[in-house]
């Protein structure tokens, strides 16, 4: 499967925005320990991840959040990392092996048209989508696939960088998420990011005929 071009720019369905996929080599900067000074993974995802959980990391890059989440889920949990760039996942696996966490981490190379999560449908306890949604060509499809993979009432943390995503862009993204069956639980304050905690809506009970 061909890797996504680093310079590729394309229109996102339903919006006027252009899309830039993060080049794989930038993954090294994103995974740098110095980033902790600005974005501390334990503080950002710590409130939502518990031992034994199955966590989905969409667009994990080289695993800046995946490795801390693998520590948080413990030996009985797992973190499923889905990215469209094999080089990101290769480096993520190397880092996980060095940290002794590879047994809790599963990497999946996705295509742009699907995250290929059918086999884990309804099993995900928590999803992180950090700085990835604005890179995807079809947000309706993306949120729909994530929603199907999640357990009912499970939480998703959605964070988008203010440098790439305007308030209006983010509102459009939220509309796509709501349309796919998520509701907003809380708008979070996070430096350099627009951030929101979403919940997969439970299906409403069937109306009884009188
Ligand atoms: C800016 S990086 C963020 C990486 C990581 N979440 C972090 O905060 O360090 C965006 C990542 O999303 C991936 N990505 C872009 N489009 C994607 C898609 N449709 N499905 C899965 N991953 C995608 C890119 O390959 C890249 O690794």
pLDDT in tens, 28-79: 999 999 999 999 999 999 999 999 999 999 999 999 999 999 999 999 999 9
* CB-neighbour burial class of residue 88 (10 A; exposed 0-12, middle 13-18, buried 19+): buried
Q: Vertex 90, ends 19 and 151: CA angle to 5°?
A: 70
Query: For the chain, what is the domain count?
Result: 2
Is 171 among the domain residues? yes
**Ligand 1 site, residue 136, Cβ cutoff 6 A:** yes
Boundaries of domain holding 52 = 22-110
Cα 85 to ligand 1 centre (Å): 8
Write down the pLDDT at residue 4.
Answer: 43
Same domain for 159 and 105: no
Is 119 among the domain residues? no
Residue 104's contacts (CB-CB under 8 Å, 6 or more residues apart) are 70, 73, 74, 75, 77, 78, 79, 96
Same domain for 148 and 86: no
Q: For the domain that residue 192 is a member of, what is the CATH number?
A: 3.40.50.150
Write down the pLDDT at residue 204.
Answer: 72
Query: Closest Cα partner for 85 from 123, 135, 119, 148?
Result: 135
Cα 196 to ligand 1 centre (Å): 18
Same domain for 153 and 105: no
At 114-130, the pLDDT tens digits run 999 999 999 999 999 99
Mean pLDDT for all residues in the chain: 91
**Ligand 1 site, residue 64, Cβ cutoff 6 A:** yes
Is 14 among the domain residues? no
Write down the pLDDT at residue 203.
Answer: 79
* Predicted structure pTM score: 0.91
Same domain for 101 and 150: no
Assess contact for 29 and 61: CB atoms under 8 A: no
Same domain for 137 and 106: no
Write down the pLDDT at residue 115.
Answer: 96
Three-state DSSP class for residue 146: helix
Same domain for 84 and 32: yes
**Ligand 1 site, residue 143, Cβ cutoff 6 A:** no
Is 2 among the domain residues? no
User: Which of 59, 176, 193 to mutate to test ligand 1, by most ligand atoms within 8 A of the CB atom?
Assistant: 59
């Amino acid at each position: 499967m061909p890797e996504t071009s680093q310079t590729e720019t394309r229109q996102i369905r339903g919006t006027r925005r252009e899309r830039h996929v993060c080049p794989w080599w930038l993954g090294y900067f994103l995974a740098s320990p110095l980033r902790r000074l600005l974005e501390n993974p334990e503080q950002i995802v710590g409130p939502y991840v518990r031992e034994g959980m199955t966590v989905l990391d969409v667009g994990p890059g080289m695993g800046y959040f995946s490795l801390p989440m693998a520590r948080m889920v413990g030996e009985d949990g797992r973190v499923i990392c889905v990215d469209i760039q094999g080089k990101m996942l290769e480096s993520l696996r190397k880092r996980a092996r060095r940290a002794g966490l590879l047994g809790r981490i599963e990497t999946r190379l996705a295509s742009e048209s699907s995250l290929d999560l059918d086999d884990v449908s309804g099993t995900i306890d928590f999803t992180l989508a950090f700085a990835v949604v604005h890179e995807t060509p079809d947000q309706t499809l993306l949120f729909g696939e994530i929603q199907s993979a999640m357990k009912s009432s499970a939480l998703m943390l959605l964070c988008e960088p203010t440098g790439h995503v305007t308030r209006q862009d983010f509102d459009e993204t939220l509309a796509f998420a709501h349309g796919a069956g998520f509701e907003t639980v809380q708008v979070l304050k996070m430096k350099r990011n627009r951030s929101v905690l979403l919940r997969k809506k439970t299906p409403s009970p069937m109306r009884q005929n009188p």
